[in-house]
Structure 1
Amino acid sequence: MGDIWKPWIKNGRQQRLFDKAAAIAEEARMHKKDADHTASFSPKTLAAIKREEYPALALPTGYGGEAVSLYELILMQEKIAEGDGSVALSIGWHMGVMMELSEEQLWKKEQFDRLAKEVVQDQKVVNRAATEPATGSPTRGGVPETTAVRDGDAYILNGRKSFTSLAELLDYYIVSAYVEDLDQVGWFLIDRHQPGVTVEKTWDTLGMRGTGSDDLVLTDVELSVEDLVETAVKGKSKPKGWLLHIPACYLGIAVAARNDAIEFARNFQPNSLDTPISEVSHIQDKIGEMEWKLLQAHSFLYATARRWDEEPEEREHMQPELSAVKLAVTNAASEVVDLAMRIAGGRGLSKHYPFEKYYRDVRAGLHNPPMDDSTISMLAGKAIHLNSE
């Protein structure tokens, strides 16, 4: 089943990085049932991620990382998702943060140097905590209800963050808050061992349960002024290529569903047939439909990532394309998993088979940013503007 990857691995470096991802995927596969059942991220999988020194790969070589390209990132993330989508999505946020901070230089050098050193030496894992119950997704523009109040040389933070992937196992949180004395949104780097930092087990969702995206609760957390690492920049935000880790994740889930559906079809033979169902025409039609959908999705995703890497001067104009990739790939992934379910038939609903988990997990892609409606609106606006010139 590995042939699907051959067109996308171009050289020895990519093969080496891919092999790291494959090792993580194999570990994740062993723990995904328990992670799904308990709605928590497996510490054993995280240990494998750190053993492969994966958290440091996105950092510049000058810091001891490997400065992975966007193409390489999605290649690895998709493979990890083939093992367990929850693992890929969770560690994908960390990888994206490392790429964003490295490329956009949002922090003071000494602040970034400190974090980068810990990521390289100790494989520390971080994630942004931005979503809140009242504000919803930060991409919709809500001001955080989490507050940071200045008290001499310190800030006191209070608030609650939801959808905090890897909440219990992160080494650092990068938390958004309304900074009262500055009258703007800021981001604070918080050690998970800081007094007043707790995780409340609230994650009880249909899919992607293994992300362990519980609530982060901050109660009178006292931080140094130097822990205010970033303030929100007003105006148009830059396109973020690293967000392609999201469609890569759901495409990996679809590939896993495709693989298991073909294996099921090759081996399942009801007593009403003289051959396995893989020889039945309508089953072959579904397999063929899965294939062309995956080919289209892969081509769009990897071509866009390659363009991001090879044409940096065009990045500022790529937001519509990046958003379109997310829309196209996540919807295609959902369609592929649905076809896999149809091949498995009623057995696909049983927890004795992997299909129902793929079906639950892949649906989450439709709710990760950017949302389909905002993408369609953006594409429409662009088309109307270009047509009027």
Structure 2
Amino acid sequence: MPDDDALLHRLLPEQLLTTLRGRAAGYDRENRFFTEDLADLVATGYPLLLVPREHGGAGADLRQAVAAQRRLAAAAPATALGINMHHVVMGMARTLHQRGDRRAEHLFAQAAAGELFAFGISEAGNDAVLFDAATEAVADGDGYRLSGTKIFTSLSPAWTRLLVHARETAAERNPLVFGVLERDAEGIEVRQDWDTLGMRASQSCTTVLEGAPLRPEHVLTRTPAAPNADPVVWGIFGCFELLLAAVYTGLADRAIEVAAGIAATRRSRAAQAPYAQDPDIRWQLAEAVIVRDGIELQLDRLAADVDALGTPAEPPHGARWFLLFSGLKHRATEAARRVVDLAVRSSGGGQYFRGAELERLYRDVLAGIYHPSDSESVHAATARALLGPAAG
């Protein structure tokens, strides 16, 4: 694999990160998509981060991708969250590639040709997420026609390919079908309805499918409508949780950096000294770093475990993989919320005003509670593994 530092600085050079950070407040204020950021990231080859080199990509492993997304999120969290969904699809394809499974190889070629992938899985009221779907798939003799509504579809203004799932209602046992839709196909409506508290530049609009065609060659897998470890589902789940955790850890990195800078320059009138010398401020910022550091180590280790797929070093996590993925996402997003709260507490009332960077990070970090796996599902799954099914 390419050297970590060399790859990160080639795809995300410091000058570019400074530029992206400078745009973030404007995107948030105007509730506008990160069009210019995306053009700059495409110019460095960043969407090809997880595409193997033999397929024209940067050849990063998941551990490197986690580090890259963390670095990007420290500059522009909503931009990182948006491009994250493309990386999830490429990450899924890469985990299949590691297993010797060629079902998603064609996605690499599409990405290398400039296609941008989004993630059309979330549905209102579907708390089973990957393991069920409200969207219907009707076989039509040439693949399927999909009808339903997908929410939180990041990259809405720019995606050209959409990873989706739907329930094949006419088939025995109603299996789920997973595949990729093309943006210019009929039956796809993107609603301009993204006006949220935070992560505004991600423009994660609602996508309505009305008989959208899913061609046979674009079907990735069919699975039971129930928890299962199909390699496509496994790859989506694992890469989504790890890369999402990376984004929120990067946001926490930036909150610490901003708060430390404020503490060094903001002075106490009573003590006639910088707040960096105040014992309470020092404790708060130290606590923020301690909380962040614990997640950093977990994130790095679990990403490395995924990178070991198909090698003698592959860890025997078995059925625990899903619990490890969802548990890490939960801990990372909760840790990031704690870090940002501590940063705001330590930085004075000026950060309460609109336009202050910590004010924006405070709003952005709240989005973490809505991404799967949410707190309720993580605890329910862990309790079920530990204690068995709940009575009744």
Structure 2 match to 1:7: none
- C-alpha separation in 2, matches of 1:107 and 1:163: 32
Structure 2 match to 1:364: 367
Is 1:52 equivalent to 2:56 in the alignment? Answer: no
Is 1:96 equivalent to 2:88 in the alignment? Answer: yes
- C-alpha separation in 1, matches of 2:329 and 2:250: 13
1:181 positional shift:
4.5
Q: Contact (CA 8 Å) 2:198, 2:364: kept in 1 or not?
A: yes
> Which one is further off, 309-318 or 258-267?
309-318
Q: Contact (CA 8 Å) 1:107, 1:229: kept in 2 or not?
A: no
Q: Contact (CA 8 Å) 2:260, 2:285: kept in 1 or not?
A: yes
1:13 positional shift:
1.1
Q: Contact (CA 8 Å) 2:49, 2:65: kept in 1 or not?
A: no
2:316 to 314, 317, 320: 314
Compute the TM-score of the two structures, normalised by the length of structure 2.
Answer: 0.85
Is 1:350 equivalent to 2:353 in the alignment? Answer: yes
Specify the code of the residue in structure 2 equivalent to 1:14.
D
1:305 positional shift:
2.3
- C-alpha separation in 1, matches of 2:107 and 2:387: 44
1:3-41 C-alpha deviation (Å, 9 max, x unpaired): xxxxxxxx9710022212355543431221232234342
What are structure 1's unaligned runs of at least 5 residues? Answer: 1-10
Kindly tell me: are residues 285 and 31 of structure 1, through their superposed partners in 2, closer, same or farther at Cα, counting changes over 3 Å? same
Structure 2 match to 1:171: 160
* Coordinate RMSD, CA, aligned: 2.7
Structure 1 match to 2:340: 337
- C-alpha separation in 2, matches of 1:339 and 1:235: 37
Structure 1 match to 2:121: 130
Kindly tell me: are residues 21 and 231 of structure 1, through their superposed partners in 2, closer, same or farther at Cα, counting changes over 3 Å? farther
Specify the code of the residue in structure 1 equivalent to 2:5.
Q
1:104 positional shift:
2.5
Specify the code of the residue in structure 2 equivalent to 1:352.
G
Specify the code of the residue in structure 2 equivalent to 1:257.
A
Specify the code of the residue in structure 2 equivalent to 1:173.
L
Structure 2 match to 1:83: 75
1:107 positional shift:
12
Q: Contact (CA 8 Å) 2:124, 2:151: kept in 1 or not?
A: yes
Kindly tell me: are residues 120 and 16 of structure 1, through their superposed partners in 2, closer, same or farther at Cα, counting changes over 3 Å? same
1:221-257 C-alpha deviation (Å, 9 max, x unpaired): 3454434343235652247432211111111111101
Kindly tell me: are residues 345 and 86 of structure 1, through their superposed partners in 2, closer, same or farther at Cα, counting changes over 3 Å? same
Specify the code of the residue in structure 2 equivalent to 1:104.
L
- C-alpha separation in 2, matches of 1:129 and 1:40: 20
2:23 to 25, 31, 35: 31
Structure 1 match to 2:8: 18
Is 1:241 equivalent to 2:243 in the alignment? Answer: no
Kindly tell me: are residues 155 and 92 of structure 1, through their superposed partners in 2, closer, same or farther at Cα, counting changes over 3 Å? same
- C-alpha separation in 1, matches of 2:272 and 2:125: 58
1:310-336 C-alpha deviation (Å, 9 max, x unpaired): 432425343333333222222221111
1:286-327 C-alpha deviation (Å, 9 max, x unpaired): 121112122222122212323333432425343333333222
Q: Contact (CA 8 Å) 1:22, 1:79: kept in 2 or not?
A: no
Structure 1 match to 2:35: 43
SS at match of 1:318: helix
1:264 positional shift:
0.9
- C-alpha separation in 1, matches of 2:101 and 2:35: 32
> Which one is further off, 61-70 or 255-264?
61-70
1:286 to 284, 287, 298: 284
Q: Contact (CA 8 Å) 1:83, 1:256: kept in 2 or not?
A: yes
Specify the code of the residue in structure 2 equivalent to 1:150.
A
Compute the TM-score of the two structures, normalised by the length of structure 1.
Answer: 0.86
- C-alpha separation in 2, matches of 1:135 and 1:37: 31
1:274 to 268, 272, 275: 272
Specify the code of the residue in structure 2 equivalent to 1:78.
R
SS at match of 1:251: helix
Is 1:199 equivalent to 2:197 in the alignment? Answer: no
Q: Contact (CA 8 Å) 2:25, 2:355: kept in 1 or not?
A: no
Is 1:143 equivalent to 2:146 in the alignment? Answer: no
SS at match of 2:164: strand
Question: Identity of aligned pairs, percent?
Answer: 25
- C-alpha separation in 2, matches of 1:266 and 1:198: 50
Kindly tell me: are residues 301 and 266 of structure 1, through their superposed partners in 2, closer, same or farther at Cα, counting changes over 3 Å? same
Structure 1 match to 2:294: 296
